[in-house]
Amino acid sequence: MLLCLTLWASPATAEEFPVQDAQVTYAGLRGSAFTVEGSGPTARSHGLTGASRSMGTVTQDWLTVHRDISAAFGYGTSGIEGEVGGVVRGGYRYALAPTHGPFVRGGVRGFVGGNDLWFHTHAEVPHAQLGYQLLSGETLFEVAFDGGLSVAGHYQAGAGGERPLTLVPGWGAELALHHRPVRLDVVWLRLQPRSFGPASGPLDRLDVTTCLTAWRLGFCQQFRFYEVDLASEEGMLFAGTQAFSGSLMLGLATSTSKHEVIRPGR
């Protein structure tokens, strides 16, 4: 579907939707579907939320800064649902050439969200990233490894299965490929919580997000996957519990470049 929209779209100009030194925001309505397997009977839900995503990457001289923040709130067949999440980090890029080189960043990353079917929260402080960046006008390519400490968090899904995520280490990898008008982000996160009753082993989360800009419209698709062993307070084990979610957001896309000239009265 996204490929068809890409072929159909007449892209905005580079000045309207730059990749470098820009803040790009998508805001609109998001339809979502959730499925939880392995924690009791298979459970499903659907929902509709108002959602937004704002991102930006700036690299100037040796300084590199990245921000990606999303939010959603609404209602579905599993009650009220919503989420707030994001990452803010900055650091140093060593320029092997004017447009690319290795980098290291530090900052914070967090997430809180869910509904009556599943719930996840964690806050990584500190959070660090080591990777390689190509950033030139309309194109951003980054591949990186990251890690941090979840100072507070919790995860639960299905029929009472849960795992505490407080004071546990986490690590993972990220891929970003942005070329106007398409933006692709892949994030894998592994948290290593302590055993909870009979439940042990890591929590894995994979997010794949694709956004497309067509004129002033924005289309964002997201696939999210969890896998983890859970346990109830009574000691019942739910091994290999999996949770899936898929969503599609349609709304407005806006962009503000730091090079934009702001005229009086505008």
* CATH number of the domain residue 113 falls in: 2.40.160
Instruction: Count how many domains the chain has.
Output: 1
Eight-class DSSP state of 138? T
Residue recorded with tokens 């994030």: 187
A 10 A CB-CB count for 96 gives 10
Residue, of 254 and 121, whose pLDDT is higher: 121
Integer Cα distance of 216 and 127 in angstroms: 34
pLDDT digit string (tens) for 94-112?
Answer: 999 988 999 999 999 999 9
% of the chain residues with pLDDT over 70: 87
pLDDT at 72: 97
pLDDT digit string (tens) for 112-170?
Answer: 999 999 999 999 999 999 999 998 877 899 999 999 999 999 999 988 899 999 999 99
pLDDT at 19: 55
pLDDT digit string (tens) for 63-96?
Answer: 999 999 999 999 999 999 999 999 999 999 999 9
In a domain, 84, yes or no: yes
Structure tokens at 146: 């990251």
% of the chain residues with pLDDT over 90: 71
- Give me Rg for the CA atoms of the chain: 19
In a domain, 266, yes or no: no
In a domain, 203, yes or no: yes
In a domain, 51, yes or no: yes
pLDDT at 8: 29
Q: Comparing 13-17, 49-53, 227-231, which segment has the lowest mean pLDDT? A: 13-17
88 CB contacts (<8 Å, ≥6 apart)?
66, 67, 69, 107, 108
Integer Cα distance of 247 and 236 in angstroms: 31
pTM of the model: 0.86
In a domain, 46, yes or no: yes
- Which residues of 115-202 form beta strands (DSSP E)? 118-136, 139-157, 161-164, 168-179, 182-191
In a domain, 66, yes or no: yes
| H-assigned helices in the chain | 2-8
Give the mean model confidence (pLDDT) for residues 36-41.
91
Cα 232 to Cα 118, 153, 260, distances in angstroms: 14, 17, 54
In a domain, 154, yes or no: yes
The domain in which residue 241 lies consists of 2-257
* Mean pLDDT rounded to a whole number for the chain: 87
pLDDT at 22: 60
Q: How confident is the model at residue 6 (pLDDT cuts 50, 70, 90)?
A: very low
Cα 134 to Cα 59, 138, 160, 196, 219, distances in angstroms: 10, 11, 45, 42, 24
In a domain, 265, yes or no: no
The verdict on whether omega for the bond into residue 126 sits within 30 degrees of 0, i.e. cis, is yes
- Residue 240 pLDDT > 70: yes
